[in-house]
Structure 1
Amino acid sequence: MSYGNRKPHFVLVPLFAQGHMIPMIDLARLLALQGVAVSVMTTPQNTARFKAVIDRANAAGLLIRFIELRFPCAEAGLPEGCECYDHVPSLELYKNFYEGLSLLREPLLLYLRQQCPKPSCIISDASTPWTREIARELRVPRYVYHAPSCFFLLCTRNVGKHKPGADAFERLLVPDLPHEVEVVRGQALGLFDYPGIEKLRDEVAEAESTADGLVMNSFRELETAFIDSYQKDLEKKVWAIGPVCLSNKETGDKFTRGNKMNVDENYIRNWLDAKETASVIYVSFGSIASHSASHLIEIGLGLEASKRPFVWVIRDKEMRPEVARFLSEGFEERTKGLILRGWAPQVLILSHPSVGGFMTHCGWNSTLEAVSVGVPMLTWAHFFDQFLNEKLVVEILRIGVALKANTSIVYMADDAEGLITREDVEKAVTELLEGAEAEERRKRAKELAAKAKESMEGGSSCEDLRFMIRHALELTDEASDA
C-alpha cells in the first residue's frame, strides 16, 4: 500500500499469554507486509519466546520491533519471573497478573511519547483496557483486538443481556442468534464474568464501547452472520483479518512460532512422512489446560485401542510419576504413536498431509489453525470460550466430533477425575476418521480451508486489513486537523 510521504506506525499491546501473543505477532507480520512499521509491547521473557520469529521477519525486510518493558511482578504480588499468563501458579493470582499488566501504562506511554515516527494507531488486546488512556493522550485511534471467536462474543453478549441471573447449570437457547444453539449457562459466560474481577469487567466493557473499531482473528466466510450481528449490536466496525496463522508461509516460521522445541524438526517431519495420508490423529490441549494422571492414561489407552497412528503432546507439568511410568512400560513401542513433551510446532504438524484429525481443547487459535488446513476436529472443551467454540465446530460448521457431548461441567480442573474413558476416546477417534459421515466432514473442512486461504490472499480478510489501516490513518489525520 502507498501512504505518500508518511510512514504508518502501529503499536500492538497483547495480553502476555501464548494464545494471545502468537496471533498478535502474526498480525504484526501482516501489518508490516502492508508497509506499516510495527512496535509490539513485550517483556524480557516474552521477547525470548518470539525473538526468532521477529528476527526472521526483520531479515526479510519487515519493520517490526519490540517495546521491551519490565513486568512489575513484585508490585503486583506475583512470584518473580511470572511474566506470562501461562505461568501464573494459581487461579487466585490471575487478578494480580491483570493488575501487573495495567502497571505498564505509564512506562509504555513514556516510551511512545519519545518515538519517531509517532504512533498512528494502537491495537490492544481486550484484556488491556488501560490503553484507552494512552490513545487519548497521544490523540491516536485505538482498536480492540478480540482473541476469541465472534460466535463466542455474540453468544455471551446475548445470554448476558437476556438471562443474566440464570443458574450456572441451566440449559437454555441463546437468544437473538441466527442459529438454534442450546448452552449451559455457566459455559456461556464472558471472559471477565467471574466473581472478584467486576472492576476489570467494567473497564473492558468501557474500553470496547469507546474503541474506534474491533479486530478479530477470523474470516467472514467462517462467521458471516455472527460478525454482522455483533457489528450491528455494538454499532462499531468489525475488521475480520484472519486466520492470521496463514501469514506463516515458510517452514521456519511455522516451526519457531511459540516456544522452543525439545525435538528436531526433521525428526517430526520424517515420522509424519512415513504415515499414510489423513491417517494420523494429532492430540494437543494448548498451553494452559492440565490433566489428572488418570485422564492422560485414559487418553493413551483410548488412542492405543483405536489402532491409529498419533502425535500426542504432553506438557511438562503433566508428566507426573504415574504418567511417566505408564509411558515407560512399553506404550510407545506397542502403539503407532509419537509423544512430544513440552511445546510442539502445531501449525507445522497440522499442515502435514498425513494428519487426518485433531483432538483439541477448542481454544480459538487451535480451532482456526485446524480450519485453515482443513483438518477435522475431535473436541474436548475445558473452560472459558472453548465450550462455545466447540458448539461452532460440531453443530454449526459440522467439521468436528465431540468427545463428551452435552457435558455440564463449566471448568475442568487439572485434578478432575472420571470425565472421560478410554472407550470414549476410541469411539470418538473412530467416528471422526471412518465412514460416510467422516468423509462428508473432511469435505466440509477442506472447503473451509480453501475459503480461509482465499480470504488471506486478496479476499475478505486482506481487504479488511487494508481498510482497517486506511481507517486508522483517516482518524489520525482528523485528530491532527482538529
Structure 2
Amino acid sequence: MENPHALVLPFPAQGHVIPCMELSHCLIDHGFKITFMNTDSIHARVMAALPKMGGVHGQIRLVSIPDGMAPGEDRSQPEKLYDCFLRVMRVHLEEFIRKRNESDHDKITCLIADGCMGWAVEVAVKMGIRGVAFWTLPMSFCAYVFHVPKLIEDGIIDDNGFPTKQQMIKLSPTMPALNTSHLIWLCLPDHISKPSIFRYLNKCTQAAKSADWHLCNSFYDIEPSAFELVPKILPIGPLSVGRRLGLLEGNFWLEDSSCLSWLDEQPAHSVIYIAFGSYTIFNQRQFHELALGLELSNRSFLWVVRPNLTDGSSDAYPDGFEARVANRGRIIGWSPQQKVLAHPSIACFLTHCGWNSTMEGLSNGVPFLCWPYFADQFQNQTYISHVWKVGLELKHNSSGIITREEIKGKLDELVGDNVIRARSLELQQIAQKNVTEGGASFKNFNNFIEAIKLEKC
C-alpha cells in the first residue's frame, strides 16, 4: 500500500508558509509524501533564498501555480486577491489534482489548505479527496472569524465588519475582553481595505467549514476558552522543526546563520533579540528611536533588519550608530529564528507578536517585549502580557512614537523580572508536554494521522 500523499497549500505570506512547511515535515515523519504548492511569485522567493536546491527537497516536492495577478501587481488587497484565487488559481489547482490523480500511483489523497485559503477545501470536496483546514493563526483569531455571523446578528458589527458602536466584548466569560475597534480585520495598515479583508476572511471561513479535519498550530493550555468556542478545531502545536539541520523551512530571505557563532561568544541571558517578522514597516523616525533605544540600553543585541523594514533606505541608521554599537550589537538581514530563540545567550525577545514568533518564544521559554503591528498581533500581545504574563508591552507617547527611553526602561524591567522569567519557563514546559507522547497535541495529531491512513485503505 502506498503512503498517503498530501498536497499542502499555504496562504501566500511568510507567516503562513513557514508553519505549513513545519506541518509538512511532521507528516513526513509519519510516512506521508508531500507536494507543497505556492503561488508562482512566492515559489520564486522561496527558491531564491535557497539557490542550491531544486524542485524536490528530501520528500517535499515544491510546485507552483499562478495566482491570477500580473508580475509586480499589488497583492496587498485581499478582495482583489480572493477574486483572482477563485477565477484563476482554483482552476489551476483543480487541473493539477486531476492530472496527478489520473496516474496509477502517487495520487494525492488529501488537500491541506491554510485556513486563509478556505476556498481550496471546496476544491478537495469537488475532486473527491479529503480536505483539511490548517489554521496557522491563534485560536482566538479563529474564534472571532467563526463567530462573525453571530456578531452581525447581535448587532455588534455591520455587514462590512465595522462596529456599530465602540464597546468591550467577550465571546466567552473567560476570554480577555476586546474593544470592538480592535477586531482583527480592523487592525490593519491604512493602505489595506478593512471591509475587503473582513469579507475575505468571512468567505474563507465559511468555505473551510466543509473540511473533514480542522487543525490549529496552538495548544489547549494557552487558549482553552477559544477552543471551547470552536470545538471542531484540534490543536496540534506548537509545531517547531526549525532547529533540525538541513530541512527546508520556506524562508523568503536567505538566513544569516553566522549569528549563531556570535551568540556562542555571549554570556547566558545577556542578548536582546529583536525581530519584527516579514511585514512590519517603520517610518524613519520610529526606526531611529528603536536604534537609539537599543544603544541607550547598553545591552548586547541581535537585530534582524530585513531589506524592507523601513519606508526609506534600509541602511538609514542614526549617524554613527553602527560604529558606536559595533562591540555589542549584531545586525543581520534574516535569522534562523528558532535556533536563535533556543540559544542560551538570549535574554528576551523584542517582537511584533506574530503567531509564529509567539509560539517559538513560548516553546523556548523566552520573555517577550511586545510591539505589535497589525491584525492578530494586538490580541496576541494581550495574551502575552495580561493572560500568560510572560512579557511586557511597549507604550506609544502622545505623538504615536515608542521612544528610546521607553524601550530602554522596559528592557531593564523585563530582563530584571524573575517572575516573568519563571513563568516563561513554566509555559515552555507546558508547551513541550503537549507535543510529547501522551500530550494533548500529540494525541490529536496522531489521531488525525491514523484517520487519514485508514481512509486511504
Match of 1:132 in 2: 121
- Distance across 2 between alignment mates of 1:137 and 1:155: 28
**In structure 2, C-alpha distance between the alignment counterparts of 1:219 and 1:308, rounded to whole Å:** 34
Q: Give the corresponding residue for 2:241.
A: 247
Give the match for residue 40 of structure 1: 36
Distance verdict in 2 for CA 1:301–1:199, change over 3 Å: closer
Indicate conservation of the 8 Å contact 1:293/1:323, yes or no. no
Q: Does 1:117 find its partner at 2:96? A: no
Of the structure 1 ranges 35-44 and 18-27, higher mean CA displacement relative to structure 2 is found in 35-44
Q: 2: distance between equivalents of 1:473 and 1:137? A: 20
Question: Which residue number in structure 2 is paired with residue 101 of structure 1?
Answer: 85
Shift of 1:292: 0.6
Task: Check whether the contact 2:291–2:321 (CA below 8 A) recurs between aligned residues.
Answer: no
What is the match of residue 178 of structure 1? Answer: 174
Matched, 1:431 2:422: no
Q: Is the 8 Å Cα contact of residues 54 and 65 (structure 1) preserved in structure 2?
A: no
In the TM superposition, what is the alpha-carbon distance from 1:439 to its structure 2 partner? 0.9
Query: Of 311, 316, 339, which residue of structure 1 is paired with 2:307?
Result: 316
CA distance in 2, matches of 1:46, 1:321: 24
Are 1:9 and 1:119, in contact at CA under 8 Å, matched by a contact in 2? yes
Q: Equivalent residue of 1:195, what SS?
A: helix
**Structure 2 match to 1:229:** 229
Question: How far 1:287 moved relative to its partner?
Answer: 0.5
Q: CA deviation at 1:134?
A: 1.6
- Quick check: 2:284–2:311 contact (8 Å CA) kept in 1? yes
- Larger mean CA deviation between 356-365 and 309-318 belongs to 309-318
Match of 1:207 in 2: 207
Structure-2 residue corresponding to 1:187 = 182
Aligned equivalents of 2:312, 2:352: Cα separation in 1: 24
Q: Report the CA distance shift for 1:372/1:56 in structure 2 as closer, same or farther (over 3 A).
A: farther
Counterpart in the other structure of 1:412: none
CA distance in 1, matches of 2:310, 2:373: 19
Q: C-alpha offsets along residues 140-184 of structure 1, whole Å, 9 cap, x if unaligned?
A: 2212111211123225656862522575883414242324x2322
- Pair 323,30 (structure 1): closer, same or farther in 2 beyond 3 Å: closer
Q: Which residue of 1 aligns with 2:9?
A: 13
Which residue identity is paired with 2:418? Answer: E
Distance 1:175 1:240 in 2: 19
Change in Cα spacing, 1:462 to 1:309, as seen in structure 2 (3 Å) is same
SS of residue paired to 2:66: coil
Counterpart of 1:63?
Answer: 59
State the match for 1:411 in structure 2.
none
**Length, aligned pairs only:** 437
Q: What CA distance in whole angstroms lies between the structure 1 residues aligned with 2:168 and 2:145?
A: 12
How many Å apart are 1:126 and its aligned residue? Answer: 1.9
1:295 positional shift: 0.6
- Aligned counterpart for 2:429 among listed residues 429, 447, 450: 450
SS in 1 for 2:194: coil
The correspondence of residues 306-385 of structure 1 with structure 2, limited to 5 A, is 306-318=297-309, 324-334=315-325, 337-385=328-376
2:248 is aligned with 1:258: no
Deviations 1:386-409 (A, max 9, x none): 11111111111110101128x99x
Q: Please tell me whether the aligned partners of residues 169 and 184 of structure 1 are also in contact (alpha carbons under 8 angstroms).
A: no
Change (3 A) 1:323 1:337: farther
C-alpha distance 336-56 of structure 1, shift in aligned 2 (>3 A): farther
Structure 1, gaps ≥5 residues long: 75-79, 83-87, 409-416, 478-482
Residue 463 of structure 1, aligned match among 443, 449, 456? 443
What corresponds to 1:291 in structure 2? Answer: 282
Give me the identity figure in percent.
27
Alpha-carbon distance in 2 for matches of 1:107, 1:323: 37
Deviation at 1:308, TM superposition (A): 1.3
Per-residue displacement from partner, 1:294-330 (whole Å, max 9, x unpaired)?
1111111112222111111223124566874534514
Cα distance in 2, alignment partners of residues 70 and 194 from structure 1: 25
- Aligned letter for 2:195? P
In 2, Cα distance between the equivalents of 1:462 and 1:58? 28
The separation in 2 between residues aligned to 1:195 and 1:257, in whole angstroms, is 30
In 1, Cα distance between the equivalents of 2:83 and 2:323? Answer: 44
CA distance 1:167–1:258, shift in 2 (3 Å): same
Q: Is the 8 A contact 1:296 1:323 kept in 2?
A: no
Q: Write the distance in 2 (CA, Å) between the matches of 1:323 and 1:46.
A: 22
Cα distance in 2 for partners of 1:54, 1:151 equals 39
Cα–Cα, structure 1 residues 321 and 139, in superposed 2: closer, same or farther, change >3 Å?
closer
Task: Find the residue that maps to 1:369 and give its secondary structure.
Answer: helix
The answer to whether the Cα contact below 8 Å between 1:403 and 1:424 also exists between their aligned partners in 2 is: yes
SS where residue 302 of structure 2 aligns?
strand
Q: Deviations over 1:235-271 (max 9, x none)?
A: x2x2212222x223424449x65134374x23x1232
Aligned-pair CA distance for 1:418: 3.3
SS at match of 1:326: coil
Cα distance, 1:170–1:41 mapped onto 2, change above 3 Å: same
Q: Deviations over 1:49-72 (max 9, x none)?
A: 44559969977xx53212322343
Q: Secondary structure at the match of 1:127?
A: helix
1:72-116 deviations in Å (ceiling 9; x for gaps): 322xxxxx156xxxxx47x5x343333333321111211112223
TM-score scaled by structure 2?
0.85
Quote the Cα distance in structure 1 between the aligned partners of 2:333 and 2:164: 34
- Deviation of 1:24 after TM superposition, in Å, equals 0.4
8 Å contact 1:351–1:373 — kept in the other structure?
yes
Task: Pick closer, same or farther for the CA change 1:332–1:445 going to 2, 3 Å.
Answer: farther
Counterpart amino acid of residue 455 in structure 1: N
- Residue 57 to residue 81, structure 1, CA distance change in 2 (3 Å): closer
Q: 1:383 to 1:169 in 2, by over 3 A?
A: farther
CA contact (8 A) 1:53 1:257 kept: no
Please show how residues 300-311 of structure 1 align to structure 2 within 5 Å: 300-311=291-302
User: Do 1:140 and 1:476's aligned partners in 2 also have CA atoms closer than 8 Å?
Assistant: no
Q: Kindly provide the amino acid, as one letter, of the partner of residue 471 in structure 1.
A: A
Is the 8 Å Cα contact of residues 141 and 184 (structure 2) preserved in structure 1? no
SS in 2 for 1:211: coil
